[in-house]
Structure 1
Amino acid sequence: MWIWQQLGWPQLTYDSARLDNLEQQFLLRAGAFIGAFKHVGAEDRDAFRIELISDEALKTSAIEGEVLNRESVQFSLRQQFGLGGATGHAPPREQGIAEMMADLYRHSLDPLTHETLFAWHSMVMNGNRRLRAIGEYRSHPEPMQVVSDRLHEPAVFFEAPPSARMQDEMAGFIAWFTDTAPQGKAPLPSLARAGIAHLYFVCIHPFEDGNGRIARALAEKSLAQNLGQPSLIALAFTIERARKEYYAALARNNRSTEITNWLVYFAETILTALENTHARIDFHIAKARFYDAHRGRLNARQEKAITRMFREGIDGFKGGLSAENYIGITRASRATATRDLQNLVEKGALTKTGSLRHTRYWLNLPMLAR
């Protein structure tokens, strides 16, 4: 029996004592992040906001196996927020996910409605021509199943409630989301509410596609409402790093209405996401200072390589930047690449580890010290 077939559904139970310490940690870390972000200058804040939201847009899509173009997503986000300097073109998928993430950020404190979810689904499915129902709950008579991609013996990981129940199920979900908000009839702590919102929604699986992306957006909306401001928490960024663990946790918790283990997993993921968000703010601040320090001191090849290194984010190139990487990025000869890299080390832009063919280069930033 699936979770929605259990006696008592949709009432989900858990041991709140196991979340108490995690809730306290969340409030402390969220406060520290909010304080750190307030110290960022207004001009830099817009740039960081675009960076953080675009990363979430890219990663929430990557969790579902969709690889999007970063520049197109950022171009569309800058348009959404009315920021200057937006030039280029965004294909439908990039435009759609950027539109949803911008709407989530701007209206995170607004009540949740069916219309909100329909709009998000239309955005996420922008350009999709294979679905029968976009911007509405599914209505097809076939079972809604999540299956493996094995061709000969596909395994059913989950089967959702039949489409005929969608209107009632989603009316119940929205009523629950409203009642458990900070000003609702039965408010819940931050982590419990976000975790339940995610699991409850994906167990209903109301849309033909896009349920995972919308569930993660709902978790972030829930956190924002509990914090009283948009969260910018790197939830999708963190989940994508351990995607198999995320899907395994969902699979372990889709047959019982007792969901303590899911909530502990999700709460710990949110705490890790907060740490990642704080680290990325530090990274973006260091990036701004780096460019201030080296403006006008790098040649065109070096600037191109540095830009490419920053695009890799906190993790950087796996194993560090090699001379071969530099040649691939800049199309420079080996001799020129060697001179350029040595010059970057002398200027303090890069640090160097290893020797000979094991030589690797790293951005010279405090949080990346090696």
Structure 2
Amino acid sequence: MTDEAMKTSQIEGELLNRDSVQSSLRREFGLETEQRRIPPAERGIAEMMMALYRGFADPLTEEILSDWHRMVLSGRNDVEVVGRYREHEDAMQVVSGPLHKPNVHFEAPPSHIMSQEMGRFLDWFAATGPGGKAPLPGLTRSGLAHLYFVSIHPFEDGNGRIGRAISEKALSQAIGQPSLIALSQTIQRKRSAYYDALEAANKANEVTDWLAYFAQTVLDAQSQSLTLIDFLLEKTRFHDRFRGRFNPRQEKVVTRMFREGPSGFTGGLSAANYITITDTSRATATRDLQELVALGAMGQTGTLRSTRYHLILEPADRREGQVSR
């Protein structure tokens, strides 16, 4: 959930503090006892993620969307209308290029018909859900809901984040439980493809290509989620095997390497990396790394300046080959 909260904001160019987001989510789950101050943006996105998680089965209403909008824009002073549909008379456009000759990628319906358009959208979402008058397959409904909502663009800002939340709500309702897939993380990895697909769909009445893109993105997100689960299980087994066997420097480096997730530490860990992370001498770094290799916690590749170290996430006798990051 932390990764999804981070990435759905990052797609829109907003960078959040991971520790603050995680602390806020822990507090929402009742797991955080430390009363640290959490910035509004991080607290708001965490609140929206929890509202989505807890209320996935609830009907989507204007009140819920307004609450989500207030959460997403928590702490923002540059948006005039928060928690309500946009009201400005100017056209809502996505543009690029010079001011004197802008390239208009998208223009949303005018503000004065937002209530009418959103009423239709909410009726459609209710009718196409499980048990509705015209139910759609979960994947189709999720993809169409995202495109439909973003095409209306009902709020001054935050439409992308709320649109992705609506997609996850549709998927969750289809499977009868919170989906918790890495949708925003997957979109963020190929952000330009996401915007290209949206732009193409908004310029035509044919949405097949968009649905094909969206379906593949959801499948990729599911695969990434399964990879992450495997990684977390391997991480747990790793800590179980080596609990109490690392010195503080080694523990710090291992923690830093695990922070990179399933993709691992880019290019492997070098002695220079170890020195930088621990602020220790080369001799101490070399000794620590040799101990980690001897323990079976790390594998070593290359020689001399090209020597790199990787975490061994399962013992060699657990399965064929060496699993390392």
For residues 98 and 231 of structure 2, the distance between their equivalents in structure 1, rounded to whole angstroms, comes to: 40
Which residue is 2:108 aligned to?
160
Map residues 312-331 of structure 1 onto 2, 5 A cutoff.
Answer: 312-331=260-279
Which residue is 2:318 aligned to?
none
For residues 214 and 294 of structure 1, the distance between their equivalents in structure 2, rounded to whole angstroms, comes to: 42
The one-letter code matched in structure 1 to 2:298 is: L
User: How far has the Cα of 1:164 moved from its partner?
Assistant: 0.6
Runs (4+) of structure 1 exceeding 6 A deviation are none
- Contact in 2 for aligned 1:121/1:135 (Cα 8 Å): yes
Task: Using the aligned pairs only, state the percent identity.
Answer: 59
Which residue is 1:29 aligned to?
none
Which residue is 1:279 aligned to?
227
For residues 129 and 303 of structure 1, the distance between their equivalents in structure 2, rounded to whole angstroms, comes to: 42
Output one character per residue of 1:296-354: Cα deviation in whole Å (capped at 9) or x when no partner.
11111111111111111111222222222222211112221121122112112222222
User: How far has the Cα of 1:276 moved from its partner?
Assistant: 0.5
Match of 1:244 among 182, 185, 192: 192
- Contact in 1 for aligned 2:23/2:32 (Cα 8 Å): no
Residues 150 and 350 of structure 1, relative CA distance in 2, 3 Å threshold: farther
Map residues 105-116 of structure 1 onto 2, 5 A cutoff.
Answer: 105-116=53-64
- Contact in 2 for aligned 1:75/1:87 (Cα 8 Å): no
Which residue is 1:213 aligned to?
161
Which residue is 2:149 aligned to?
201
User: How far has the Cα of 1:153 moved from its partner?
Assistant: 4.8
User: How far has the Cα of 1:70 moved from its partner?
Assistant: 1.0
For residues 269 and 100 of structure 2, the distance between their equivalents in structure 1, rounded to whole angstroms, comes to: 42
SS class of match (1:200)? helix
Match of 1:148 among 68, 83, 96: 96
Query: Structure 1 residue 306 and structure 2 residue 254: aligned?
Result: yes
For residues 45 and 8 of structure 2, the distance between their equivalents in structure 1, rounded to whole angstroms, comes to: 9
> Which runs of no fewer than 5 residues in structure 2 stay unpaired?
315-321
- Contact in 2 for aligned 1:125/1:210 (Cα 8 Å): yes
The one-letter code matched in structure 2 to 1:297 is: R
- Contact in 2 for aligned 1:96/1:124 (Cα 8 Å): yes
Query: Structure 1 residue 359 and structure 2 residue 304: aligned?
Result: no
The one-letter code matched in structure 2 to 1:296 is: G
Residues 291 and 226 of structure 1, relative CA distance in 2, 3 Å threshold: same
For residues 318 and 89 of structure 1, the distance between their equivalents in structure 2, rounded to whole angstroms, comes to: 33
Query: Structure 1 residue 231 and structure 2 residue 205: aligned?
Result: no
Which residue is 1:137 aligned to?
85
Which residue is 1:173 aligned to?
121
Residues 291 and 179 of structure 1, relative CA distance in 2, 3 Å threshold: same
Which residue is 1:294 aligned to?
242
**Superposition RMSD on alpha carbons, in Å?**
1.6
Indicate the larger mover: 191-200 or 357-366.
Answer: 357-366
> Which runs of no fewer than 5 residues in structure 1 stay unpaired?
1-52
SS class of match (1:253)? helix
For residues 156 and 339 of structure 1, the distance between their equivalents in structure 2, rounded to whole angstroms, comes to: 60
For residues 259 and 268 of structure 1, the distance between their equivalents in structure 2, rounded to whole angstroms, comes to: 14
User: How far has the Cα of 1:99 moved from its partner?
Assistant: 0.7
For residues 88 and 356 of structure 1, the distance between their equivalents in structure 2, rounded to whole angstroms, comes to: 45
TM score, norm. by length of structure 1: 0.83
TM score, norm. by length of structure 2: 0.94
The one-letter code matched in structure 2 to 1:223 is: L
User: How far has the Cα of 1:150 moved from its partner?
Assistant: 5.5
Query: Structure 1 residue 119 and structure 2 residue 62: aligned?
Result: no
- Contact in 2 for aligned 1:131/1:208 (Cα 8 Å): yes
Query: Structure 1 residue 182 and structure 2 residue 130: aligned?
Result: yes
- Contact in 1 for aligned 2:27/2:33 (Cα 8 Å): no
With a CA cutoff of 8 Å and minimum separation of 6, indicate the structure with the bigger relative contact order: 1
Residues 312 and 154 of structure 1, relative CA distance in 2, 3 Å threshold: farther
The one-letter code matched in structure 2 to 1:170 is: M
Which residue is 1:267 aligned to?
215
SS class of match (2:90)? coil
Indicate the larger mover: 302-311 or 153-162.
Answer: 153-162
Residues 126 and 368 of structure 1, relative CA distance in 2, 3 Å threshold: farther
For residues 3 and 309 of structure 2, the distance between their equivalents in structure 1, rounded to whole angstroms, comes to: 24
